[in-house]
């Protein structure tokens, strides 16, 4: 599952000359889908136009397909150009982090004992999502040298309701990079997702925790 963030009236980050995050991530998502399909992956986008599905609608698309890996694509408003970070979800609200453009989740009310919460779906997958995020970030760091070698934990709203491994990838930055360069990063991102997902599947097959 590739999730181009934002859409519709939610433009996301804005750059010069009316460049918007929602348009570039959609262009990137289409390229990522094409590249992953060539490598044998079955890929579905949460949106393929200028719509803005709700967080729950995006999660429902992923949750309806068992054993899907969910990757949400973002572009930050600031940050070192051509750097990139992979996030996995956490269930608390830390101090705000600089240069993070992903939607920060607010805690949901506690649910009665024994009743599963749609908004807690990702809780059971935090460890596996962390492993997936580290594997993808390790691949990304090879193509984006200014990037950290490990993933980052943050309360990312897009991931909260996904019932499976889920990460968010955020590229920098819409204010410091040409739109063509941002869109052109999609091939490297696709290869990193492919390499990370393949390693993740292999490690899961042998019972990695």
pLDDT of the residue at 145? 93
> pLDDT truncated to tens, each residue of the chain (209 aa)?
999 999 999 999 999 888 999 999 999 999 999 999 999 999 999 999 999 999 999 999 999 998 899 999 999 999 999 999 999 998 754 444 444 566 555 444 444 444 447 678 999 999 999 999 999 999 999 999 999 999 999 999 999 999 999 999 999 999 988 999 999 999 999 999 999 999 999 988 765 54
Non-local CB neighbours of 148 within 8 Å, separated by 6+ positions: 85, 137, 141
Give the CATH number of domain 2-205: 3.40.630.40
pLDDT of the residue at 209? 45
Are residues 203 and 42 in contact, defined by beta-carbon separation less than 8 angstroms? no
pLDDT of the residue at 108? 43
Task: Judge residue 106's burial from the number of C-beta atoms within 10 Å of its C-beta, 0-12 exposed, 13-18 middle, 19 or more buried.
Answer: exposed
pLDDT of the residue at 191? 97
pLDDT of the residue at 169? 98
- Cα atoms in the 13 Å half-sphere on the side-chain side of 11: 8
pTM of the predicted structure, to 2 decimals: 0.88
pLDDT of the residue at 181? 94
88: closest CA among 130, 141, 136, 137? 130
């Amino acid at each position: 599952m590739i999730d181009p963030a934002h859409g519709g009236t939610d433009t996301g980050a804005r750059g010069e000359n009316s460049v918007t995050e929602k348009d570039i991530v959609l262009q990137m998502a289409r390229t990522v889908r094409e590249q992953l399909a060539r490598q044998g992956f079955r890929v579905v986008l949460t949106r393929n136009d200028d719509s803005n599905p709700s967080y729950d609608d995006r999660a429902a698309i992923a949750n309806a397909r068992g054993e899907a890996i969910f990757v949400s694509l973002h572009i930050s408003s600031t940050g070192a150009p051509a750097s990139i970070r992979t996030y996995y979800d956490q269930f608390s609200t830390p101090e705000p982090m600089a240069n993070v453009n992903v939607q920060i989740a607010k805690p949901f009310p506690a649910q009665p004992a024994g009743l599963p919460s749609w908004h807690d779906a990702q809780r059971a997958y935090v460890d596996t999502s962390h492993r997936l995020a580290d594997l993808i970030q390790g691949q990304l760091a090879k193509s984006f040298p200014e990037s950290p070698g490990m993933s980052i934990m943050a309360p990312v709203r897009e991931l909260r309701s996904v019932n499976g491994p889920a990460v968010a990838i955020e590229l920098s930055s819409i204010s410091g990079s040409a739109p063509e360069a941002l869109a052109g990063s999609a091939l490297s991102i696709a290869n990193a997702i492919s390499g990370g997902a393949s390693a993740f599947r292999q490690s899961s097959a042998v019972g990695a925790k």
